[in-house]
Amino acid sequence: MLLGRHQDLAPAIDGVLEAGADALGVAGGDGSVSTVAATALAHRLPLICVPAGTRNHFARDLGLDPGDPAAALDAFMDGTEARIDVATVNGRLFLNVVSLGIYGEAIRRSAYRDAKLRTLVETARTVLGPGGEIPELDLVDDRGIQHDRPAVVLVSNNTYAPARPSARGARPTLTGGRLGIIVIGKPAGTHHPPARSWSATSLEVDAAARIHAGLDGEAVELDPPLRFEIQPGALRVRVPRSISRAG
């Protein structure tokens, strides 16, 4: 079934389920894959990902080649199954990352899709400049240090490596059972904002109002407090037998 860019996935997924599907496959970007993955998890079905988006972060971390999306179709006929972790925020599944703060504001802007970096920079200037207001986020890190109004909070399904030049994916594993957490504070007279990163099985972020966030690249609003959790090995994925790593 072919869907347009702004068509709702839900009716298509329901139709496939009613037809008795034994797996759910999707060709699309990270947002579409995340939506289908939530249904696959709920119905205990394997997920098949065909990279057809802009960045294809999740597909890359499965070991798939975005330059050859047709190869991913082999998973339907000659696939091997694995289990990977998923993460949730207030019960809502995400496969890659939830972004709060500056990014959460930038992704809401209409220009973001066409000019991501420029929109992010412009948003940062607005939020961090004179008179700018950083979203009122509040959290405590693994050392017990409280972070008030950080400029950026990134929570990922497993940790991202600083650099993996020889590998397709940015995450060394999707089965580590840990959230990756990065907090960047507001600059205070320095050229580089203070930053902190750690991993945990859960995290809580509070706020005074609804929080604008980017969830697997899609703009969402979330009600505080945000409760992030990792679900080890919760999602079944099916990849081509030729793929050596799936998590």
pLDDT band at 119 (very low <50, low <70, confident <90, very high): very low
Lowest-confidence segment of 35-44, 72-81, 160-169, 215-224 by average pLDDT = 160-169
Cα dist. 137→60, 92, 125, 151, 158 in Å? 31, 19, 18, 9, 22
Q: What is the 3-state secondary structure (H, E, C) of 175-203?
A: CCCCEEEEEECCCCCCCCCCEEEEEECEE
Cβ–Cβ < 8 Å for 236, 214: no
- Give me the residue spans of the domains in the chain: 9-87+233-240, 97-231
Res 31 pLDDT > 70 = yes
Residues 6+ apart with CB under 8 A from 135: 100, 101, 104, 105, 149, 207, 211, 212
pLDDT of residue 41: 96
pTM, two decimal places? 0.83
Residues 6+ apart with CB under 8 A from 158: 85, 171, 173, 174, 175, 176, 177, 178, 179, 180, 230
Using CA atoms, how far apart are residues 15 and 127, in angstroms rounded to an integer?
A: 44
Lowest-confidence segment of 17-21, 108-112, 236-240 by average pLDDT = 108-112
pLDDT of residue 243: 79
Give the tens place of pLDDT for each residue, 147-183: 988 888 899 999 988 655 444 568 999 999 999 998 9
pLDDT band at 69 (very low <50, low <70, confident <90, very high): very high
pLDDT of residue 53: 83
Res 71 pLDDT > 60 = yes
Report the percent of the chain where pLDDT is more than 70: 75
Peptide bond into 232 cis (omega under 30): no
- Cα–Cα nearest to 51, from 75, 30, 20, 37: 30
> Which CATH architecture best describes the domain 97-231?
Sandwich (2.60)
Res 124 pLDDT > 50 = no
pLDDT of residue 17: 83
Lowest-confidence segment of 44-48, 76-80, 88-92, 242-246 by average pLDDT = 242-246
Q: Which CATH class is domain 9-87+233-240?
A: alpha beta
